[in-house]
Amino acid sequence: MMRLPAVPLSGLPERVTVYEVGPRDGLQNEPASVPLETKLEFIARLAAAGLGAIEVTSLVRPEAVPQLADADELLARLPRRAGVRYPVLVPNLHGLERALALGVGEVAVFASATESFAQRNLKRTRAESMGNFRQVCRRAGEEGTRVRGYVSMCWGDPWEGAVDPLEVVKVAAELVAMGCAEVSLGDTTGVATPGAVNDLLVRLDSAGIGPAVLAVHFHDTYGQALANTLEALRAGVTTVDASAGGLGGCPFARSATGNLATEDLVYQLDGLGVASGVDLAALAATSLWLARQLGRPSPSRAVQAVAAELGAV
């Protein structure tokens, strides 16, 4: 694989945590369920490639997301690697209790910045869903379980249009107040551009929610995910969500296409001299392997470039 020498830019963090969401956010959007054995090997390969945080599944009702209906068995058989975090998305208190019974040490909840998406995705009003998450955080705190809070639709909503950043600040502040150790800002429909990203991060910082507790989660619908990520890094954010091979989207928002590809992100970080601990060659090989299992090429540009160099396309 051809690699240029790293050329740093000023104002960037020395190290970034890549929060891998492929096994959950990526595979939940596949048209058919992926076999459990494939999922287990996928997760093991991601850990071996150096990913230190891998969101492995979601404990939702099987009829809601049938692609993740095997969550209990997956967690029971999960090959855990020392030093790797394996968080799980939980929709409510019942999901948290399932997670605790299965030995999960870290969970995530999925909030919405807009009323429309809350009712379509969570089947509750925004206020009702936040009350639900407050119960999750209270119970998780009793068990010493770390909670991450997602905020979806941070910049644009397909039903409401442009999202008022003050609404995002309000939801993020509630999540922090209820005990979320980290809040991930989701550009669910991929409509944000760097100026809008900077504007929201400035507003959050002014409200006392600084980059130390924030992560970013960009979709690449309009090809802006890497540019938006760089803007977030310049603002001090050090945790970036990404999906191996660029898998994913959102089954509840049809305009949402794939996530930022982990390989594209790692290639950029390597080129900037920002440490991530991820082996790009091993990661690209993993996504090429998974693409064969899925029967279609990876949308990641970096994976496509590696495949071309290896003569795999």
CA neighbor of 286 nearest in space, from 33, 43, 82, 74: 43
Alpha-carbon distance of 88 to 104, in angstroms, equals: 7
In this structure, are residues 14 and 275 in contact, taking their beta carbons and an 8 Å threshold? yes
Residue 137 bears catalytic tag: no
Mapped onto helix, strand or coil, the DSSP state of residue 39 is: helix
Alpha-carbon distance of 136 to 95, in angstroms, equals: 9
The pair of three-digit structure tokens given for residue 305, joined into one six-digit string: 């470039």
The pair of three-digit structure tokens given for residue 45, joined into one six-digit string: 């390969």
CA neighbor of 256 nearest in space, from 243, 237, 239: 243
Which residue in 137, 154, 180, 250 is the catalytic one?
250
Q: Taking the CA atoms of the chain, what radius of gyration do you get in angstroms?
A: 18
Q: Please give the positions annotated as active site.
A: 250
